[in-house]
């Protein structure tokens, strides 16, 4: 909230409490009254902040390539790209082994398997304990050196965040993201991008052209803590999911935690991230509300996006829901050719929605 607005004092109270807890945990943080970011020269005044010194940013692609290079130097390492896994199952009673089946019909047999995926390959369990969000991002040019290089989050709902990355000799890129909403439950991408642009221009007047914009999906556990470790009801299948924007951090953490669990090394993080944990009682109302919301999305069985295929413009899609047949997902490509599919998500049979921004079919039930 801006200074002078009713919610600003509540923000300050929360910031002070957060800084106190962080220091108790051994993490350096401090509340700074009237803290201002160099280059934030717009009229909107949101000074006061919790600051965390000594943070870092690094390039995710270069990081992954570095990890892959290290792995290729290890004995018995093999990597199969463009290999889609369709199932991971445990077989046997006493001496269990894991069968990994691929789309091409191959089967890999192993002692342990790790599903380091956005969503595990299963119907429910932890899948039902995740909230699925569509999140948006834009990259805006700013004159090099005109704005302080820092990582910014605000406390709005939906929230905003700001990052920096290199552009060219003249400019840097200001990366502005946020404006999340539940997957498949809105179709307002243009409005979301416009809101991000308005937000940054009102605060950073030197913002230039918007060169890139994109969206993605994030997955938030109902108790706000990732699921990392042995999957529910299994002995040799491990998962890492529920990152909600913290994938690089969780990737490092999961590499250590899951390796320890497979090799039998005690790890104090195991209980915190245990996929089989029982959420605290304080989360029960939110869990029930989440389940109710998810189940109400099956109302799309009674809805139709279009009444006739001719209603579709080239490059767009929609669900046609005949009263006597199952819902049909219809896409008309740029050449005007029509493509028809079942509109039922193969996961839990939710009726998908057309995402015109990403040109994808999104499920409002589980992403």
Predicted local confidence at residue 324, as pLDDT: 63
Q: Distances from the Cα of 300 to the Cαs of 183, 185, 297, 355, in angstroms? A: 14, 11, 6, 15
pLDDT digits 0-9 by tens, 103-157: 999 999 999 999 998 888 877 778 888 889 999 999 999 999 999 888 999 888 8
| pLDDT classification of 212: cutoffs 50, 70, 90 | very high
Per DSSP (E only), the strands in 82-129 are: 85-91, 97-102, 107-110, 113-115
Mean pLDDT in residue range 340-344: 92
* Residue 226 to residue 273: CA distance in whole angstroms: 6
pTM exceeds 0.75 for this model: yes
Q: What six digits make up the tokens of 179?
A: 């404006």
pLDDT at 215 over 70: yes
Q: What angle do CA 181, 182, 188 make, to 5 degrees?
A: 50
| pLDDT classification of 285: cutoffs 50, 70, 90 | confident
DSSP bridge pairs for 210: 140
pLDDT at 59 over 90: no
Residue of 235 and 1 predicted with greater confidence: 235
| pLDDT classification of 259: cutoffs 50, 70, 90 | very high
Decide: residue 158, CB within 10 A, 0-12 exposed, 13-18 middle, 19+ buried: middle
Mean pLDDT in residue range 198-222: 94
Say what the alpha-carbon torsion angle 263, 265, 271, 277 is, to the nearest 10 degrees.
Answer: 20
Predicted local confidence at residue 303, as pLDDT: 83
Q: What six digits make up the tokens of 174?
A: 């200001």
pLDDT at 347 over 90: no
| pLDDT classification of 38: cutoffs 50, 70, 90 | very high
């Amino acid at each position: 909230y801006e200074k002078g607005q009713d919610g600003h004092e509540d923000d300050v109270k929360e910031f002070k409490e957060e800084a106190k807890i962080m220091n108790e945990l051994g993490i350096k943080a401090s509340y700074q009254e009237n803290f201002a970011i160099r280059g934030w020269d717009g009229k909107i005044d949101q000074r006061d902040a919790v600051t965390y010194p000594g943070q870092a940013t690094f390039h995710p692609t270069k990081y992954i390539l570095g990890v892959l290079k290290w792995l290729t130097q290890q004995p018995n390492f093999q990597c199969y790209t463009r290999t889609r896994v369709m199932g991971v199952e445990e077989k046997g009673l006493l001496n269990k082994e894991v069968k990994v089946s691929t789309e091409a019909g191959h089967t890999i047999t192993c002692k342990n398997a790790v599903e380091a995926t956005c969503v595990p390959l299963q119907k429910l369990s932890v899948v039902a304990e995740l909230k699925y969000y569509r999140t948006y991002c834009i990259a805006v040019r700013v004159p090099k050196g005109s704005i302080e290089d820092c990582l910014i989050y605000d406390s709005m709902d939906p929230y905003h965040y700001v990052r920096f990355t290199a552009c060219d000799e003249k400019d840097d890129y200001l990366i502005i993201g946020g404006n999340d909403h539940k997957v498949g439950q809105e179709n307002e991408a243009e409005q979301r991008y416009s809101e991000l642009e308005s937000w940054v221009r009102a605060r950073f007047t030197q913002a230039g052209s918007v060169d890139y914009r994109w969206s993605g999906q994030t997955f938030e556990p109902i108790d706000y803590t990732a699921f990392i470790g042995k999957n529910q009801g299994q002995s040799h299948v491990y998962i890492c999911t529920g990152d909600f924007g913290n994938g690089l951090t969780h990737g490092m953490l999961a590499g250590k935690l899951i390796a320890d669990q497979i090799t039998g090394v005690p790890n104090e993080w195991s209980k915190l991230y245990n996929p089989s944990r029982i959420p605290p009682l304080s989360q029960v109302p939110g869990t029930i509300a989440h389940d109710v919301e998810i189940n109400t999305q099956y109302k799309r069985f009674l809805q139709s996006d279009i009444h006739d295929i001719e209603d579709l413009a080239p490059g767009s899609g929609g669900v046609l829901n005949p009263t006597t047949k199952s819902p049909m997902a219809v896409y008309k490509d740029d050449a005007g050719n029509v493509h028809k599919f079942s509109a039922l998500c193969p996961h839990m049979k939710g009726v998908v929605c057309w995402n015109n921004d990403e040109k994808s079919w999104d499920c409002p039930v589980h992403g």
